[in-house]
């Protein structure tokens, strides 16, 4: 017997159950906004706020370095052609500026170059190959192993399910969703049609009749009663066996018409399933948790992650590694320029050196007084 109608019914209502369950788990049905879900958003640390302010110096430092280089080249090339008085006057004004902005430009551009050399050039050559791409294979292997072992290991997932009550909530929601589907008139009507169709095909299938006839022959042939009345029936079984077979075959033909008898019992059983699911959640939770953990364990997640990373081109891999720390990389550049600028001031104006040392000492004291203490296990 083909079961295409039954499969269509099962697929349709399992899909309905899945969509309703997804809607209950996320009532608005919307994809979560990852930025809105980030904990601590809007409560940025002081260091982050300072870094964002300093990052405003990124382009000024970038162009000031270019202007400074151009000026130094111009000053060097034009010196032989300038009158001595004008040359001295130009150097008098330019030297303090170069002394201050020179270290700032050096600090900014050396950090900029160091960061660029981590990722560029992206293709192998005889001069310099970006460090990330030069050790791409090792990096991919280590990343995949770290993600698999530290973030999505089966034990971690199982512990998460228990600690956050995911299975408990899921069982309750699933029971409610299942109850809603079972009580839908459309579901009940289609279930009735499926039962009628199944009973009709079962009762009219020649194989069913042949197997039932064979079974009756076996029962009648093997029947050997011990009572006197039973022995009388055994002697006359050739007379009543034919009538019995006809009666049973008649009942088989009437199966589709018995749907009204079966349906209330089927529905009564289905309506008990949600309550049974909730009642047995304590027994179901460990089973589901172990099944999920075993499912994760059966998948070579490290290999999956490794293959996906290996498919990325150099630009995509660079974006993956830097997309969340781009502001921090800019801060490395601007902080180099700022510290270089302060060094230049300290060189040009020695009286500022004690001030810088005092500010540094005060910041160190503030750090020591406010740093969070590491918890020690008892």
For residue 144, name the pLDDT band (cuts at 50, 70, 90): confident
pLDDT tens for 81-109 read 888 888 888 888 888 888 888 888 889 88
Question: Average pLDDT, stretch 250-276?
Answer: 82
Mean pLDDT, rounded, for 56-79: 87
Mean pLDDT of 7-13: 83
Q: Where are the domains of the chain?
A: 4-23+159-303, 46-119+324-370
DSSP per-residue codes, 248-292: HHHHHHTTGGGHHHHHHHHHHHHHHHHHHHHHTHHHHHHHHHHHH
In this structure, what token pair is assigned to residue 190? 């289609």
pLDDT exceeds 70 at position 230 = no
pLDDT at residue 320 above 60?
Answer: yes
CA distances from 167 to 162, 171, 245, 300 (A): 7, 6, 53, 24
Residue 377 pLDDT > 80: no
pLDDT level of residue 238 (50, 70, 90 thresholds)? low
Confidence of residue 12 (pLDDT cuts 50, 70, 90): confident
Say yes or no to pLDDT of 34 above 50: no
pTM score > 0.75 for this model? no
Distance of CA 87 to the CA centre of its chain: 66
Neighbours of 22 (CB within 10 A): 11
Q: Which of 101-105, 202-206, 207-211, 257-261 has the highest mean pLDDT?
A: 101-105
**Residue 69 or residue 32, greater confidence:** 69
Q: What is the pLDDT of residue 233?
A: 53
79 DSSP assignment: G
- Does residue 33 surpass a pLDDT of 50? no
Over range 320-347, report the average pLDDT: 84
pLDDT band at 32 (very low <50, low <70, confident <90, very high): very low
pLDDT in tens, 264-276: 888 888 888 888 7
User: How does the average pLDDT of the chain come out, rounded?
Assistant: 78
- The answer to whether 320 and 305 have CB atoms below 8 angstroms apart is no
Q: Which of 103, 77, 102 is nearest to 90 (CA)?
A: 77
Residue 67's nearest CA partner among 36, 27, 35, 108 is 108
Q: Is the pLDDT of residue 1 over 60?
A: no
Based on its alpha-carbon atoms, the radius of gyration of the chain, rounded to whole angstroms, reads: 41
| % of the chain exceeding 70 in pLDDT | 82
Question: Does residue 29 register a pLDDT over 50?
Answer: no
pLDDT band at 316 (very low <50, low <70, confident <90, very high): confident
Q: How many helices (H) and strands (E) does the chain have?
A: 19, 0
Q: Please say if the pLDDT value at position 57 is more than 80.
A: yes
Per-residue pLDDT tens for 110-130?
888 898 888 888 888 888 888
* Stronger pLDDT, 232 or 77, i.e. the higher one: 77
| Helix H or strand E segment including 323 | none
Q: Does 189 score more than 70 pLDDT? A: yes
């Amino acid at each position: 017997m083909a079961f295409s109608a039954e499969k269509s019914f099962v697929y349709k209502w399992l899909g309905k159950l899945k969509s309703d369950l997804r809607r209950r788990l996320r009532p608005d049905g919307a994809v979560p906004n990852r930025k809105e879900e980030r904990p601590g958003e809007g409560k940025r640390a002081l260091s982050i706020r300072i870094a964002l302010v300093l990052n405003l110096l990124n382009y000024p430092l970038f162009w000031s370095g270019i202007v400074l280089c151009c000026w130094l080249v111009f000053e060097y090339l034009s010196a032989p052609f300038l009158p001595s008085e004008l040359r001295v006057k130009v150097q008098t004004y330019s030297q303090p500026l170069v002394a201050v902005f020179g270290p700032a430009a050096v600090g900014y551009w050396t950090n900029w170059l160091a960061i660029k050399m981590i990722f560029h050039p992206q293709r192998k050559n005889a001069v310099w190959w970006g460090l990330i791409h030069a050790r791409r294979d090792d990096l991919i292997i280590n990343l995949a192993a770290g993600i698999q072992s530290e973030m999505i290991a089966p034990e971690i997932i199982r512990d998460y399910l228990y600690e956050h009550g995911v299975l408990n909530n899921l069982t309750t929601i699933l029971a409610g969703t299942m109850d809603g589907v079972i009580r839908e008139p459309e579901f009940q009507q289609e279930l009735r049609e499926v039962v009628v169709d199944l009973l009709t095909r079962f009762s009219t299938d020649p194989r069913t009749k042949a197997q039932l006839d064979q079974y009756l022959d076996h029962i009648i042939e093997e029947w050997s009663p011990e009572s006197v009345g039973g022995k009388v029936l055994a002697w006359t079984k050739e007379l009543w066996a034919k009538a019995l077979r006809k009666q049973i075959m008649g009942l088989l033909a009437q199966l589709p018409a018995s749907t009204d008898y079966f349906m209330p019992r089927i529905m009564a059983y289905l309506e008990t399933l949600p309550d049974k699911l909730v009642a047995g959640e304590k027994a179901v939770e460990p089973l589901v948790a172990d099944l999920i953990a075993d499912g994760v364990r059966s998948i070579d997640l490290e290999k999956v992650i490794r293959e996906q990373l290996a498919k990325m081109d150099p630009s995509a891999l660079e974006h993956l590694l830097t997309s969340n720390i781009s502001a921090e990389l800019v801060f490395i550049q601007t902080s180099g320029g700022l510290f270089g600028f302060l060094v230049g001031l300290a060189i040009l104006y020695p009286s500022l050196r004690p001030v810088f040392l005092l500010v540094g000492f005060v910041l160190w004291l503030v750090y020591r007084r406010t740093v969070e203490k590491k918890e020690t296990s008892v």
